[in-house]
Amino acid sequence: MAEEVGPARKKRVQSVLFMCNFNAVRSLAAEAIARHYFGKSTYVQSAGVREGEPADPFMIAALEEIGIDASRHKPRTLEQLEEWEGLNFDLIVTLAPEAHHAALELTRTNAVDVEYWPTSDPTILQEASRDQRLDAYRDLRDGLIFRIKTRLKG
């Protein structure tokens, strides 16, 4: 019997879904970043558990700073995504507790990996200055870039 050396290598992700509460900030950014770096080799989508929030202009601005255009993003719910194309993903990454619970419920009978990446919600800084708020969105963006590059590299 062959002995395995080092940690088990995860197979390359071919399709990923990023989920959050509204698909307007965190999952929007994760989708845009993953498409930017891995869009030719990995199918990428995002969705929210609930409907109602438009794409966040601070998140759009933070992405534009690094050359990623997410201005045409239309937030969609998990239900809408399922109706349009089904939910056939190798990996679902959840970015908020509510999304994680929904993903676990959804995948109970599917062979799909679900990972929870706790991420801060920059929208809670409503009373902060514009610069402080933008810094929070940049921190989120930069953290997602690191995690996505680490997780999706071939």
Model's pTM, two decimal places?
Answer: 0.90
Contacts of 20 (CB under 8 A, 6+ apart): 26, 27, 30, 46, 48, 49, 94, 95, 96, 99
> Of 48, 54, 50, which Cα lies nearest the Cα of 72?
54
Q: Which strand (E) or helix (H) includes residue 122?
A: none
Write out pLDDT tens, residues 105-136: 888 877 789 999 999 999 988 888 999 999 99
Q: Please report the domains of the chain, with CATH numbers, ordered by start residue.
A: 15-152 (3.40.50.2300)
Residues of the chain short of pLDDT 50, as ranges, are: 1-9
| Cα angle for residues 96, 92, 47 (degrees, 5° grid) | 65
**What is the per-residue pLDDT for 5?**
42
Q: What is the pLDDT of residue 10?
A: 61
